Structures are given as structure tokens and as C-alpha cells.
Structure 1
Amino acid sequence: MPPVGVPLVIEKKKWAVRASEFAKSTFNPIRFIVDSMKMEQHPDKYMISLSIGDPTIFGNLKPHNATIEAVHNALDKMTFNGYAPTVGYFEARSAVAEFYTTPETIISPNDVILSSGCTHALDLCISALASRGQNILMPRPGFCMYRTLARGHGIHSKFYNLKPEASWEIDLAHLESLIDGNTVAIIVNNPNNPCGSVYSKEHLLGILQIASRYCLPIIADEIYDFFIFKGEEFHPMASLSKNVPILTCGGIAKRFLVPGWRMGWVLIHDRNNVLNVEVRGALNALTQRIMGSNTLVQGALPDMLRNTPKSFFAETIATVQTNAEIAFEKLQQCPGLFPVKPQGTMYMMIGIEMASFPEFATEFQFVERLVSEQSVSCLPGKCFEYPDYFRITLTIPKEQLLVAMNRIIEFCYDHYIEERNVASNIVLIKEEQVHTLDQTIPHGFHT
């Protein structure tokens, strides 16, 4: 203390407000990569976006009237404006349970937790099962949000490989080799984003055998459940499990074409009570962090799930499958590109023979130049931990898809290093086709 009568001098503090470690460790690769891309389009070509995983963006795919009416009815009742239980209204959970119950998989309302979209459902599962320093196995290529959600909590991501030569099946030997004493769960995405794969019953049983051998629960990301093409069959993972606990994450975003309504769920499948009170309690506790999901949509869920006809889903899938077949046929003939034919969802992954495009060091540069020269945007494989590939979305109107495919083909012929004379002749034909198709869509139309 200073002597009596001498004023106390307090050192002036400086502002030092810091971001939290949680915030600094939260990182979305797609946003970072897309934001860092040079997106200056060709001045004479309207932009065609094949990069966005939103089926509503083009306006050609719309929700069914029954879905819209369900929300109108819920709003008119004026009983869904307050807080709901954080796990969701019982009536809404009952409707989800009824929607997913089959003779093989019986679900009760107590097995359903409603969430703010499927990503929130994934966050609940990852947060409930893993602690800092532990790890979760996840697919490569795969949905980047798995890593984003884990990283913020200090949970490590270990990536198992998918095999493009086998329609993106999981490399089971590689998956098993990654398991160690700190592994607490396996994420399985089926049907798959970004690959469009739909796994066979036999392949899913192979995954379950590994999970059973190491006593690991599975987080099943099935947001594209039943969004499969004609001739394929979807098997919910929980319907095949005898003893492995499954946390199935889903929602209304893709199937009902309303991603902005933010309604998802976790379905708890635990036939042998392995997850017991502790994990169920953890999931319930975590819902309290945001006080539950959208109550208006919860109020609409029973009518939405019961009254939307199956024909609506079939028509949506048929539209996307037609686009997938067109894109695959076109790009399969394109020099230097190797599309992998999807079996469902809204996406296709296309491999690039980078040695045939020496101007580009990475697929990132390839995609950037595609924008500047042809005004077609795609997502580089880097977004999915998978270089030398890019992803396209298949929900675009058919006319725009045809224009985009021709532009991609023209771009590849412009930069492909082999057969230059032949290439230039084909480019002239393609330019004529593109010009004709371009007339069907007004210039200046952006998506």
C-alpha cells in the first residue's frame, strides 16, 4: 500500500476480449473453401450452380400441398406458439415413431428426440457419445459437418476410405484398422452425401459385424432415407442390427423438400439396452441447450407425415434420377473425367485425371477456372477430404443441366492435353449445342 496521503495509482487495463477455444476450433471446410474461391463468372454466360445441396434453390422441386396445409393448420390452431418439451411434443414424436415403425423395427415415442434439423441431430449424438480426446470414425469422402461438429468438442476425426471402384462402398479392412482404445462410435452415411451411394444389405451387415466385434455404437446419418433410384433398395441400418445400438439421424429437409424448416430427429434403437439410462439421459440433457426445435413445424408433423402421398416422393426421385442418368451419360464421354454413377440422393462425384489437365495443380483450380470460363460452379473434392474429384448437385431443372453438362465438356476439351485436333472439332459441335440450349433460359438468370 502507498503511504498515507499518497493517491493510489491503478494501472489502466487494456481490452483483451478473446474468442473461446470452442469457437476458434469450429471450422466448416465447405464455407472456408467456397469463400476462398475466385467466383468471377464469365461475363457472357449466366451462372449455373451445381454446388448447392438445397433442392429448393431452383424452384422446380416444391413441397407437396399436404405439407404446406399441415403448417397452415398448425398455425391456425394457435397452440404451437410457446415452448415445447425440449425433446419435442409427444404427439409429434408419436407421429415420427409411427412413420418409421416396421415389423423389424418398432419405435416408441420415447425413442424419438426432435432436433433443429438433421445436423443438430448429429451434434446431439456426437456430443452424447464422445468426450475430448476420444475419436469417432467417419467416411472419406464424407459430409464435412461431421468433422466440424466433433472438432469443436475436442473430439478427433478418423477417416475411413470409401471405394469409388465399388460404387463408394466402405473399405471395411481400412475402417477396422482405424479402431483403437479411444474410438467410441462409427458414423455411417447411407444413402451417401456426396457420393450418391446406397449400400446393399450384405455390405451393411459387414459394417455391423465390425461394430459388434468392438462394441461400438453406430451413428446412422440417414437424412436421404428412401431417396433412392428405381432398381435400388434402401435398408435402414437399425432394421439389420441384432445387438449394435444405432442412433439414426434424419429429418424432413430432403424428402419433404423443406430444408429451411429445420426439423430433424434422433431415433434411438437399442434392443439390448446397451445405451441404458446414461446415454438417453445425455441426449435429453443436450436438447436443453437450445430449448427444443421449431414448435410450429412440430405441430404440423403428424399431418405432414400421414397425409403427404408416396407418389410425391416417387415423382421427386424420378426427376433427380433422370438428371443423374443424363449427367452420367454426358460426363462419361468427356475426356479426363470419370463420373461415378449414383444410386440415390441428389449428388454425383466426378473424378478428374489431373495429369491430363497440366494447367491445374489441384481440382480446386480446375473448379475455379470452370467458373471463370463457363460460369458453372461445383464443389471441389477438398470439401469432402477427397482431392482430384468434384461434386455436382442433380436437382437443377433439366434444361439448365444440359447447358451445364455441355459447358463442362467444352471446358475439358479446351484444357485436355491429348488429341487436340479431334478435340477442337468436337468443341465446335458442343458450342452449337450450348448456344441452342442457352436460348431456352433467359440470360442474367442466376442461382
Structure 2
Amino acid sequence: MESKSYMVQMNGNGMKIHKKRWNIRASEMSKNTLNPIRAIVDGMKLSPNPDKAMIALSIGDPTVFGNLPTDEKVLQAMKDAMDSHKYNGYAPSVGYQKSREAVANFYCSPEAPLEADDVILTSGCSQAIELAISVLCNPGNNILVPCPGFSLYKTLAVSLGIEIKHYNLLPEKSWEIDLQNLESLIDEKTACLVVNNPSNPCGSVYSKEHLQDILAVASRHCIPILADEIYGDMVFPEHTFYSMAPLTNDVPILSCGGLAKRWLVPGWRMGWILIHDRNQAFGQEIREGLVKLSQRILGACTIVQGALEAILNSTPQEFYQDTIGFLKSNSEICFSALSSIPGLNPVRPSGAMYLMVGIEMENFPEFENDVDFTEHLVTEQSVFCLPATAYPNGECGNPLYPNYFRIVVTVPEDMMVEACSRIREFCQLHYRPCNQESNDLDQ
């Protein structure tokens, strides 16, 4: 707080008075907090074609278009919880015992047993990730995160004074982790390895063998894993989801999940951390740390907690199957359509809600990069896809694959077909094969 001096007269004598002035500054944490997606999108010049209805393929909220409602039994569970009048007060900051037992029972397996004490309920999976990073890392530590990957990892870590190191994913191998690159990044300050499976933004699903290879790296270096498994079991029929915890006997894992995606209720803000620690590597200290950190907001929504047991136990398999069937169908429509467009290289997804598309920028010389490409796609065709530049692409300023964009496949089928048609029209207008110039010169 600053002060300002001025003179006043009292009984004929001048006196110097100091008056304080308001000087309120934002905290360093707030200044260090940045969402890379918002930074890119807010800086884009988005002026849709007024003659074409906007189609947003950029929003990772499955409820936006109303075509993917949650199941009636899920809604009934919430109504019953509200009508009971039992869940209007505070719960323990880690969640009601009964609700934590329900989550433990739902995810328990012989290879990775769980009890209520192994579950922390959180305000969405985002808070679960925040608590996991906060309990494992100190300022000055670093964490390893996928590139491309969910931007929240960087937002949270940098805000907390934690360094981000990006390990590479390999699009030619369905976005598997480059294990050699991953291992080269580990040093004495590495506090955590983040593994996102199934993946946002890539839509990839890792095989059991690949997950075991990742676990072997973590085991060699004694690095705990934060497993972001919010899209767990959201995989297409020909693939299988393997949670990481049952695949290891020694690597401690904090598995983060929630209701948002699989149950199609992201606004209900119900997430959890599953503590897998069969070798007691975390010990009591990490558990106590999670409890203390959960007390900062006094826990997740109690109404949803009251409904949680019924939601987990009563949601019919047909609901999950119908959701996956729709996502699979839309993914195939999109992949098939874009695969036939010269200059685009979509990577076939295996699950989640996303599909990544590579742009052969050398064949679109009018555009500088993926941001420029997607900006003009909005301007001309009113189709908005998120450029991959919005996702953290490494620290060296020379990302491996900047020229991609992400498509969200939750839109209604007719909208997906129309969007792909517009993308085709856009590409046909701007596609210039890079060898065309040399051919013209030869002539």
C-alpha cells in the first residue's frame, strides 16, 4: 500500500500528513495462470460466414447439442437424492463414506483392490488432477505431460510454480508415447508422470503392452504416475481399456476420473482420485496431504454424492453401449470423409470423443500454420475446429506437429456430415500440390 503526503494547517502551523492510497495487485499465482486454449482462441480472428450456420467442432462438452442426454436412471438418482432432503449440508471434505465406498466397489479389481479410504471425491476430474499435482509436487519440481495433451496440466502446474516437460506422442503409431524421449526427460526434480488414456485430444487408446512399457519406465526411475482416466471405458468395440493400476505391483498411481464424460454430465462436477499404493510408496503422508488439500473447498457437491451409488450401480449397459456406438459411428463418418480429401491426414481414433487431423501445410501455401488454416475455415465455411497449436507443444519453440486440428465427434450426425462437406469444399478451393510449381516451371 502506497502513501501520499500533503500539508494541512492546524492552529496556524503546517503539518505533514501521510494518507495511504489503494495499491492492490494481482497475486503472482494469478499472473502465472494461463489456459493455452483460451490464449489461442481469444487471439484468433473468428468471423463466421453469415450465409452458413456455425458448426462448432471444438467444444469438448457432450451436452452442447442435446443429442447425447444422460440416462433416465441417472436423472432419477439425482431426483431421489434431492427429494430425500439428506444431502443439503456439508459432507466430509473427502466425501461421504457411503459414496466413497460406491466408487471403490465400482473400480475395485483383484489386481488393484480399493476401499473407501482409497477414494477422494472432488469437484470434477479437473480438481482431482489439481489435488494430485499439488500433493506430489513442490515449486521447482517438474512433471512429465503428453505432447499434444490436455492443456489443464500446464495451466495448473505453471500456476503452482512447477515446471512442465513435454514428452512426445507418435501420430504414426496411433499416438503412442515415445518412450525413449520420455525417459530422456527424467531428472532428479521429476515428481510425477502424467498419462492420459484414452486421450484428449488424440482419441487414442493404449494397449496393455504399451501401458506396461510406460510403467516399466516409471518403475526404473521411481516416478509416481498421475493417470488421467476420465475417458476410461469410452473405447470403441474393437479396443479394450486397461486401467494402469492393475498392471503394476510397485508403481504408485493416483487415478483421476469422474462422471463428466462417460455419464455425460460434465456440469455436475463430480470427480475422484483413486489411490493405488500396494507397496506403500505413498505412505500415510500423501494420503494425509490429499485430505488436507481437499479441505480448501470443503468437498464436492453433496447432492451428486447422495446420488452417486445409484448412478454407478443402476446405469444400464445399453446406455454406455449406445453412447460408444454413436461416437464410433461419427468418428468413422469423419475419418472416412476427411481421408479422401487431398492435403488432410486424419488419425483414426480408438475411443474418447476426439479425432486429430494433420494438415499438409506445404500444399496449402496461402496459410501460415494450423491457426491460420482454421481461422479461414471459420471465415469461409463457418466450421470451427481447434488448432493443435492450442495444445502444449513443447518448450523449444519448434513443435513436432503443429499442423493438426482437433475435431470433437459428439455433434449430431447430420451436422458432422455437413461439416465434413464444408471442409472438403474449403480444401478443394485452397489445395495447391507442392510439386505443382515445379511442374509448371518444367513446362
TM-score band w.r.t. shorter chain = over 0.9
When the two chains are superposed, the root-mean-square deviation of aligned CA atoms in Å is 1.6
Q: Which has the higher strand share?
A: 2
In the superposition, the TM-score normalised over structure 1's length comes to 0.92
Tell me, in whole angstroms, the C-alpha distance in 2 between the residues paired with 1:65 and 1:340. 34
Tell me, in whole angstroms, the C-alpha distance in 2 between the residues paired with 1:197 and 1:349. 10
**Aligned match of 1:67:** 74
Partner AA of 1:123 in structure 2:
E
Contact 2:36/2:392 (<8 A) preserved: no
Return closer, same or farther for 1:165/1:77 CA change in 2, 3 Å cut-off: same
In the TM superposition, residue 40 of structure 1 has moved relative to its aligned partner by: 1.2
Matches within 5 A, 1:17-56: 17-56=24-63
Tell me, in whole angstroms, the C-alpha distance in 2 between the residues paired with 1:347 and 1:325. 11
Tell me, in whole angstroms, the C-alpha distance in 2 between the residues paired with 1:160 and 1:247. 19
Q: Deviations over 1:162-221 (max 9, x none)?
A: 000000000000000000110011000000000000000110000110100010100000
- The answer to whether 1:411 aligns with 2:418 is no
Partner AA of 2:304 in structure 1:
V
- The answer to whether 1:218 aligns with 2:233 is no
In the TM superposition, residue 8 of structure 1 has moved relative to its aligned partner by: 3.5
Tell me, in whole angstroms, the C-alpha distance in 2 between the residues paired with 1:383 and 1:93. 35
Q: Deviations over 1:267-321 (max 9, x none)?
A: 0000011101111111110001111000000000011110001111011000000
- The answer to whether 1:388 aligns with 2:403 is yes
Tell me, in whole angstroms, the C-alpha distance in 2 between the residues paired with 1:19 and 1:419. 49
Partner AA of 1:315 in structure 2:
D
Tell me, in whole angstroms, the C-alpha distance in 1 between the residues paired with 2:267 and 2:246. 29
Partner AA of 1:266 in structure 2:
I
Tell me, in whole angstroms, the C-alpha distance in 2 between the residues paired with 1:182 and 1:272. 22
Aligned length: 420
Tell me, in whole angstroms, the C-alpha distance in 2 between the residues paired with 1:16 and 1:101. 53
In the TM superposition, residue 419 of structure 1 has moved relative to its aligned partner by: 9.9
**Aligned match of 2:267:** 260
Identity %: 54
**Aligned match of 2:296:** 289
The one of 283, 290, 294 equivalent to 1:276 is 283
Tell me, in whole angstroms, the C-alpha distance in 1 between the residues paired with 2:11 and 2:185. 69
The one of 191, 195, 199 equivalent to 1:192 is 199
Matches within 5 A, 1:206-245: 206-245=213-252
Tell me, in whole angstroms, the C-alpha distance in 1 between the residues paired with 2:276 and 2:420. 43
In the TM superposition, residue 13 of structure 1 has moved relative to its aligned partner by: 3.5
- Show structure 1 runs of 4+ deviating over 4 A: 3-7
The one of 110, 118, 137 equivalent to 2:144 is 137
The one of 161, 164, 172 equivalent to 1:165 is 172
**Aligned match of 1:399:** 414
Tell me, in whole angstroms, the C-alpha distance in 1 between the residues paired with 2:148 and 2:37. 13
- The answer to whether 1:182 aligns with 2:189 is yes
The one of 289, 311, 335 equivalent to 2:342 is 335
Tell me, in whole angstroms, the C-alpha distance in 1 between the residues paired with 2:376 and 2:417. 19
Q: Deviations over 1:63-109 (max 9, x none)?
A: 00000000000000001000000000001001100110122221100
In the TM superposition, residue 4 of structure 1 has moved relative to its aligned partner by: 11
**Which moved further from structure 2: 395-404 or 35-44?**
35-44
In the TM superposition, residue 161 of structure 1 has moved relative to its aligned partner by: 0.1
Contact 2:193/2:223 (<8 A) preserved: yes
Tell me, in whole angstroms, the C-alpha distance in 1 between the residues paired with 2:390 and 2:324. 25
Where 1:185 maps in the other structure, the secondary structure is strand
In the superposition, the TM-score normalised over structure 2's length comes to 0.93
Partner AA of 2:269 in structure 1:
R
Q: Which runs of 5+ in 1 are unaligned?
A: 422-447
In the TM superposition, residue 16 of structure 1 has moved relative to its aligned partner by: 1.5
Q: Deviations over 1:397-439 (max 9, x none)?
A: 1101000000001101111113999xxxxxxxxxxxxxxxxxx
